[in-house]
Amino acid sequence: MIRYRLAITISALLLGVALVACGSPGGEGESKAPERRFLSLGTAPPGGAFFPVGGALSDVLNQFGAEYGWQVTAEATKGTQENIRRLSAGDLDFALANAAITYFAVRGEEGWEKPHDMRAVMTLAPNVALFITPADSGVAAMRDLVGKRVVIGPAGAGFHFFVRPILEAHGVAWDAIDVLYDTQAGAVGLLSDRSAAAAFLGGAVPTASITQATASDDIHFVPFEPSAVDELVAGYPFFDRYTIEAGKYRGQDEPFAGMNVGSMHLIAAAGADEELVYRATRAIYENRAAVVEKHPAGRAIQPQVVVRDTGIEFHPGAVRYYREIGIWPDAE
């Protein structure tokens, strides 16, 4: 009997220690340590904007989200297409993507084998891109690209998702040009030695590759036709007008009527946990100044930008936060 009572006493003591260590559920004044969770944020290969911006977002989430118990890692990937597929498979929690590519992915169009159920978390910096050409190439207008060797981006990057509609709006078929694939830096080299007649380059303004091209050569910016821009903006929500101010590049003495061909945006799978997305949205938005300190693209994290509709439904967790702070379009 004594041994039996002793065993009960020891068991009770051990149970009490366990309850104190874990925190009794609902106990007033007691707090439970957050569960540690490892999260991955897909970016792109080093060299473009996605990689450093993804690193900046991850750093801010880790710095200001400690209370949530997560540890976020920015993961280098091949870019938007891989990010979308890996989000669908559950291999990533968040990812950066080009809004034009995501637009077609969620619809299962333009070569996507099936619809991929993605949701926007926040719209970020615009991707301002255009065709540039050496002044002596003979390419003055978009239709002059027919039969020419044109660099449209790295192989597998998915640039055709927005380049094809641009060409077609100008009456130029995709197979009417001799498509070359290369990085933006590689494209500048191809223009310099005249191995290519034109290249489609862009990103944030000023774009490093365009700055490099104009610094060493006389470069012509191929103008978009106003009627074609009207058609593109009316037909696709990810296209938007964007004027490049005069003087952004050497030799650019006048404003150039360019286009945002698909903003960078942060996305998650439709089935991502609502509370997780809410907390991540809040942590990034409320600490956007810290993002700017790490990368200038953080300046786009502003009320009029983050909720911009690019044709992809927003995640309920993000919408809940935007409604709380009064910036969601239907919020009072």
Whichever domain contains 225, its CATH number is 3.40.190.10
Residues 156, 251 share a domain: yes
Distance CA 183, CA 170 (A): 24
Distance CA 167, CA 170 (A): 5
What are residue 95's DSSP bridge partners? Answer: 42, 267
Between CA 148 and CA 153, with CA 149 as vertex, the angle to 5 degrees is 130
Distance CA 121, CA 94 (A): 9
Going residue by residue through the chain, which has 332 residues, state the pLDDT in tens, using 9 for 90 and above. Answer: 444 444 444 444 443 434 333 433 333 444 444 566 899 999 988 867 899 999 999 999 999 988 899 999 999 998 899 999 999 999 999 999 999 999 999 999 988 999 999 999 999 999 999 999 999 999 999 999 999 999 998 887 888 999 999 999 999 999 999 999 998 889 999 999 999 999 999 888 888 899 999 999 999 999 999 999 999 999 999 999 999 999 999 999 999 999 999 999 999 999 999 999 999 999 999 999 999 999 999 999 999 999 999 999 999 999 999 999 999 998 65
For 57, the domain range is 37-125+264-324
Distance CA 243, CA 258 (A): 5
Q: Residue 137 falls within a domain, yes or no? A: yes
Instruction: Please confirm whether the linkage preceding 115 is cis (ω < 30° from 0).
Output: no
Task: Tell how strand 198-203 and strand 94-98 pair up.
Answer: unpaired
Q: Residue 23 falls within a domain, yes or no? A: no
Residues 290, 183 share a domain: no
The pLDDT value given to residue 20 = 36
Residue 51's alpha-carbon distances to 14, 45, 205, 284, in angstroms, are: 49, 6, 17, 17
Between CA 326 and CA 332, with CA 331 as vertex, the angle to 5 degrees is 85
Residues 185, 94 share a domain: no
With H, G, I as helix, E, B as strand and everything else as coil, classify residue 222: coil
Please name the residue ranges forming H helices in 67-183.
Answer: 80-89, 99-107, 160-169
Residue 237's alpha-carbon distances to 5, 14, 22, 309, 312, in angstroms, are: 74, 61, 50, 7, 9
Where among 238, 260, 282 does a domain terminate? 260
What percent of the residues of the chain are helix, what percent strand, and what percent coil, each to the nearest 5?
40, 20, 40
Residues 100, 148 share a domain: no
Give the tokens for residue 267.
Answer: 């996305």
265, amino acid identity:
H
What are residue 181's DSSP bridge partners? Answer: none
322, amino acid identity:
Y
Residues 166, 246 share a domain: yes
Q: Residue 177 falls within a domain, yes or no? A: yes
pTM above 0.75, yes or no: yes
> Which residues make Cβ contacts (< 8 Å) with residue 212, sequence separation at least 6?
185, 188
Residues 156, 115 share a domain: no
* Domain count across the chain: 2
The DSSP secondary structure of 138-170, one letter per residue, reads S--SGGGGTTSEEE-SSTTS-THHHHHHHHHHT
Residues 276, 248 share a domain: no
